[in-house]
Structure 1
Amino acid sequence: MRALLQRVSEAAVRVDGEVVGQIDAGLLVLVGIEEADTIEDIDWLARKLVNLRVFNDEQGVMNRSVLDVGGGVLAVSQFTLHASCRKGNRPSYSRAAKGAVSEPMYQQFCRTVGQLLDRPVAQGRFGADMKVSLVNDGPVTIWLDSKQPE
């Protein structure tokens, strides 16, 4: 399971011109799921996400988590995070889980993050053509992969 998270001062997802998810300050999280992912991957990624210290404290040091600062989380499903570009110039998405597998896992990820935060997670719309807008704060952009926990 992979996630690309960005610390934002605001973010929103639109589908057909309608805002379907938005947050003020917090984390925009693009989430990619592969066939081999399990509930353990969801739990690891959710816990890492809510506890990752990427928000500034009073001294301007990144020492606070989204949980600490009461920030929002906007999760957007993103199968292209599992693109392989090893051969040729057209990415292969064969590692990305099909919708029947990835949608329930994405929903479980959002529920798990929401439970850890004790507040709902804003979401994009799974499988839709989404327009994502954000104001990256910092910028702070971090890559997480449950198969390579660093």
Structure 2
Amino acid sequence: MRVLVQRVSQARVTVAERVTGEIGRGLLLLVCAMQGDTEAEAEKLAARVAKLRIFRDAAEKMNLSVQDVGGAALVVSQFTLAADTSRGNRPGFSTAAPPEIGERLYQHFAAHLRGLGLTVEMGEFGADMAVALVNDGPVTIWMDSAERG
């Protein structure tokens, strides 16, 4: 699985002018399931995200997690994180998980974050979404379950 983590002061996702998820301080998580990904990988990645120390402590150092600061997560499906641009100007997405598996893993990732005590809001899988955010910092971090065992 891949996730693009953005530390935000606020974020919102809308589908057809209807807000499907909105948070204040926390993390906007753009999530992509890749072919061969499993629930176990979704759980490991969710746990890593929840513990990621990218919020400032009293000394202004990035030393606190979203859990530590009582922040929330806005989880948005983003199959385009699977883009392969190695063969020209038009990206290919064949390494993304098929939609039915992608949706299951996306839901599992979000459920695991909830199980870790986070407040979780979500986008709508497969929908044409508009995402608005105020990136705090800015802090943007790429994570991939393939990077760790």
TM-score band by shorter chain is over 0.9
Corresponding residue of 2:134: 135
1: CA distance, partners of 2:88 / 2:142:
24
Aligned-residue Cα RMSD (Å) equals: 1.1
- State whether residues 12 and 133 of structure 2, in contact with CA within 8 Å, keep that contact through their aligned partners in structure 1: yes
Structure 2: any 5+ residue segments left out of the alignment?
none
Alignment partner, residue 61 of structure 1: 61
The answer to whether the Cα contact below 8 Å between 2:30 and 2:76 also exists between their aligned partners in 1 is yes
Query: How far apart, CA to CA, are the structure 2 residues paired with 1:125 and 1:97?
Result: 17
Match of 1:147 in 2: 146
Distance 2:148 2:118 in 1: 26
**Structure 1 stretches of 4+ moved >4 Å:** none
Partner of 2:68: helix, strand, or coil?
Answer: helix
Listed as ranges, the gaps of 5+ residues in structure 1 are none
Aligned residues between the structures: 149
Q: Does 1:35 align with 2:35?
A: yes
Q: In 1, distance between residues paired with 2:80 and 2:36?
A: 16
SS across alignment from 2:131 = strand
Equivalent-residue separation in structure 1 for 2:24 and 2:79 (angstroms): 25
Give the partner amino acid of 1:106.
Answer: Y
Q: Please state whether the residue corresponding to 1:87 is helix, strand or coil.
A: coil
Q: In the alignment, what sits opposite 1:85?
A: 85
Is residue 109 from structure 1 mapped to residue 117 from structure 2 by the alignment? no
Q: Output the amino acid matched with 2:141.
A: I
The letter of the residue matching 2:112 is: T
Cα distance in 2 for residues equivalent to 1:61 and 1:102: 35
- TM-score, length basis structure 1: 0.97
How far does residue 119 in structure 1 lie from its aligned partner after superposition?
Answer: 3.9
How far is 1:39 from its partner?
Answer: 1.8
| Contact persistence 2:114–2:120 (CA under 8 A) | yes
Identity fraction in percent: 50
